Amino acid sequence: MASRSEIPAIALDVRDLRMRYGTRDVLAGVTFTAKRGEVLALLGPNGAGKTTAIEILEGFRMRSAGDVSVLGTDPARGNEAWRARVGVVLQSWLDHKYWRVRELLAYLGRFYAPYATAEIARPWDVDELLDLVGLSTSASAKIKTLSGGQRRRLDVAIGLVGRPEIVFFDEPTAGFDPHARRDFHDLVHRLSDFDNTTILMATHNLDEAEKVADRILVLDEGRLVADGSADQLARKLTTGAEVRWTSGGQRHVHAARGGDPTAFIRNLLVQNGDVTEIEVRRASLEETYMALVQRAESGQSRSGTTNGDTPKTLDVQA
């Protein structure tokens, strides 16, 4: 059995991952890696291919092409010992509704006991885990009586009960109130900091991605259009800057392409003596992302877009 020291430093290695349904490419060559203990957010509008990508990594879906390695194993050939090291939290689950919270966690935990190693005690102590996700008071409640948020907390607990080395979350905080959301973010930090757990989280919430992730991957139409920290993304994704100024009693606007409007402004000032009220405005990461989401929701494809606000230079591998 693999001990922690044998685990490669790269927990997740995805190269040119492709998924095609008929003639439609859901994933058109996705490449990224994740180091052990790293928290990655897979961000993108609905239909960008997030869930498909995650399901391939979880071993629940076959890919069309590309190389994938999760904890050193191809998920398509992952055996039960590999399965024991992987945690899965899906979008919505309604299972085991007549079971009690503690009963189900204890039952599922039993399967992981044979996979304990010297470094990782498996399964997670049920009471400790319930406390960690804030479900201690509902331990003996029937699952069908839980509120939506409590049910979600239970799903998170189940995903963690085997003390996974990598966890896949698909929209984990859907239905969480702000308080529960913050609890969840704390939990993610704890998993990554104390247990060195690698986390890949699919979300369409930029705010959440900025808060919890070391790195954000932006997926759009089956392609990774950005990969980097929130700061790097802000600089690289938002290449459009708008320069406004007044001259001759009139207000002018220029959309500077290429990210750096300095040259344009220098020129402007040299050639035009009466420029006043100069103003440079750079789109925020949020605005850029919203534009991406809006475009995806209106059904326009990237290739067909001639909208000047949408950054064209999207290939920003950090």
Partner 1 sequence: MTTPALNARRVAVLAGFSRGWIETRQNFTETVGIIVHVFPAAVGVILMLSLSRNILPGTHLSSAALLLPGFLCMAIVTGGLSTPSGGITSDREDGTLLRAKATPNGMLGYLIGKIVTCALTTLLGVAAILVPGMMIASGLNLGARTGVLLTLTFVVGMVSTVPIGVALGSILKSSSQIPLVPLVTTLLIVVSVFLPIALLPPWLQLFVQAFPVYWVGLGVRSAMFPMEMVAAELGKWGTVELFAVPAVWAAFGLLLAPILLRRMAQRQSGSELARMRNRTRSKR
Nearer to partner 1, 163 or 236 (CB): 163
Cβ atoms < 10 Å from Cβ of 221: 20
Chain position carrying tokens 């009139």: 250
- Nearest approach in angstroms of CB 224 to partner 1 is 20
Task: Give one DSSP letter per residue of 133-152, joined into a string.
Answer: HT-GGGTTSBGGGS-HHHHH
The total number of residues shown for the chain amounts to: 318
Q: List the one residue out of 204, 169, 219, 205 whose CA is nearest residue 28.
A: 219
Residue 21 binds to partner 1 (criterion: CB under 8 A): no
Residue of the chain from 165, 170, 208, 220 that contacts partner 1 (CB under 8 A): 170
Nearer to partner 1, 111 or 264 (CB): 111
Q: List the one residue out of 110, 158, 113 whose CA is nearest residue 135.
A: 158
DSSP 3-state assignment of 160? helix
- Nearest approach in angstroms of CB 88 to partner 1 is 4
- Nearest approach in angstroms of CB 297 to partner 1 is 18
Residue 162 binds to partner 1 (criterion: CB under 8 A): yes
- Nearest approach in angstroms of CB 111 to partner 1 is 5
Nearer to partner 1, 154 or 233 (CB): 154
Helices (H) and strands (E) in the chain, counts: 10, 12
In this structure, what token pair is assigned to residue 309? 């606000």
Cβ atoms < 10 Å from Cβ of 172: 28
Query: Is-contact 228 259, C-beta < 8 A?
Result: no
Q: Are strands 198-203 and 166-170 parallel, antiparallel or unpaired?
A: parallel
Residue 111 binds to partner 1 (criterion: CB under 8 A): yes
Residue 184 binds to partner 1 (criterion: CB under 8 A): no
Residue 243 binds to partner 1 (criterion: CB under 8 A): no
Residue 174 binds to partner 1 (criterion: CB under 8 A): no
Residue 302 binds to partner 1 (criterion: CB under 8 A): no
Q: How many residues bind partner 1 (CB under 8 A)?
A: 35
Residue 114 binds to partner 1 (criterion: CB under 8 A): yes
Spatial distance between the Cα atoms of 81 and 17, rounded to a whole number of angstroms = 24
Residue of the chain from 27, 32, 36, 51 that contacts partner 1 (CB under 8 A): 51
Spatial distance between the Cα atoms of 309 and 318, rounded to a whole number of angstroms = 22
Residue 73 binds to partner 1 (criterion: CB under 8 A): no
Residues engaged in binding partner 1 (CB under 8 A)? 1, 51-52, 54-55, 58, 60-61, 80-81, 83-84, 88, 90-99, 103, 107-108, 110-115, 158, 162, 170
